[in-house]
Amino acid sequence: MKPSAACQTMRDRVPLVHCITNYVAMNIAANATLAAGASPAMLHAPEEVADFTPLAGVLTINIGTLSPQWVTGMLAAAAAAKSHGVPWVLDPVAHFITPYRANATQDLLAHKPDIIRGNASEIIALSGQAASGKGADSGDDVAQAQDVAIRMASQRNCVVAVTGPVDFVTDGTRKVTVHGGSDLMPKVTAMGCSLTAVIGAYAAVAPAFDATVAALSHFAVAGARAGADCPGPGQFQVRFLDQLHALQPADLDAARLTWL
C-alpha cells in the first residue's frame, strides 16, 4: 500500500490508538496522533488495560518513564494485544541505560511486537552490541544500525524502524530509507515518541511495513515543511503539528524513499 493510500485510509477510519507512553510525551504524542488523523487514548493502569486494548485498533508502548505499576500495565496490555490480534508497536526508549529498563524491555519483547521503532543507539543496543547513546538521545548513526535492524527483523519476525537524520525501515527482506524532516526535530522532545504513536495509527489500518513507511513519510514531509524558515524549536513544535494536520494524503508520496 502506498503511503498516500495508507494516509487516506487512516483518516477515513480515524483508528483508536491505545498509547502507553511516558510523562514527557503523553500530551505531545496525543496531539501529534490527533493532528495526523487518528484518535489516541493514553491509559496505562494494570486494572483496566486488558479490557481496553482489545477495543483499540492498535497498541503502542513507550518505556520512557518507567515505574513498577506502569511495567505491569504494559505487560498486561501487550499480552491482551497478542491474544486479541491487535497489532502492537514497541519504542524501547534508552532501554540500555539501566538494568531495570533492560529487563522490562526483554519482558515486553517476549510478547512479540509487530513493529519496533527506536533511534540508532536503541536498535544497536537491542542486539547486545555496545551503543553510545546519551539517555534518550542517540549517539550512533542510522547507517551503523542497518545490519542489526535487518537481522532483528528476521529473527523476531517484525518490522524494525531506525530513525534519525535519514530513517531506515526493514522487515528483514525489504529495506528502505526515508529522507526528509528537519534538523530541529531532535531539538524538540518526544518527537520519536510521537512518531511511535503515529506509526500505531497507520498500523491499525495497513500492514506493518507499509504502515511504518507511511508514518515516517508523514513525519518527513511535515517536518521539512515545518522546518522551512523556522526560527527555532519552540515555533517548530507548533508548526509541525499544523503540518501533520495540513498535509494531504497525496503529499506523502513526496517523501524521498530509497529502496536498498
The reply to whether 14 sits near ligand TZE by the rule CB under 6 A is no
Residue 11 marked ligand-binding = no
E strand or H helix that includes residue 153: helix 142-156
The interface partner of residue 73, options being ligand TZE, ligand ATP, Mg ion, none and the CB cut-off 5 to 8 Å by kind, is none
CB closer to ligand TZE out of 9 and 163: 163
Specify the residue for cell string 524502524.
Answer: 161
Q: Is 117 part of any known ligand binding site? A: yes
Determine the 3-state secondary structure of 49 from DSSP: helix
- Rounded CA separation 175/170 (Å): 5
Q: Least Å distance between CB 43 and ligand TZE?
A: 18
The residue number whose beta carbon is nearest to ligand ATP equals 192
Report whether 42 belongs to an annotated binding site: yes
Spatial contact of 139 and 121, defined as CB atoms under 8 Å apart = yes
We find the least distance from the C-beta atom of residue 223 to ligand TZE, in angstroms, to be 16
Chain residue whose CB lies nearest ligand TZE: 64
CA distance 210 to 174: 11
CA distance 56 to 77: 11
192 in contact with Mg ion (CB under 5 A): yes
Phi, psi for 171 (deg, rounded to 5): -115, 15
- CB-based contact 207:199 (threshold 8 Å): no
Contact region for Mg ion (CB under 5 A) — 42-50, 107-115, 158-166, 184-192? 184-192
List residues near ligand ATP by CB under 6 A.
93, 119, 136-138, 163-165, 167, 181-183, 185-186, 189-193, 195, 219, 223
Residue 246 cell numbers, joined: 495540513
Asked whether position 93 contacts ligand TZE by CB under 6 A, the answer is yes
Q: Can residue 193 be called a binding residue for ligand TZE (CB under 6 A)? A: yes
Q: Which is nearer to ligand TZE, 70 or 202 (CB)?
A: 70
Query: Hey, what amino acid is at 113?
Result: P
Pairing of the two strands 175-179 and 166-170 = antiparallel
Whether 190 has a binding-site annotation, put simply, is yes
Torsions phi, psi for 139 (to 5 deg): -120, 10
Check if the beta carbon of residue 193 is closer than 8 Å to that of residue 22.
Answer: yes
Residue ranges that bind ligand TZE, judged by CB under 6 A: 22, 24-25, 64-65, 93, 136, 189-190, 192-193
The binding site consists of: 42, 117, 163, 190
Residue ranges that bind Mg ion, judged by CB under 5 A: 93, 192
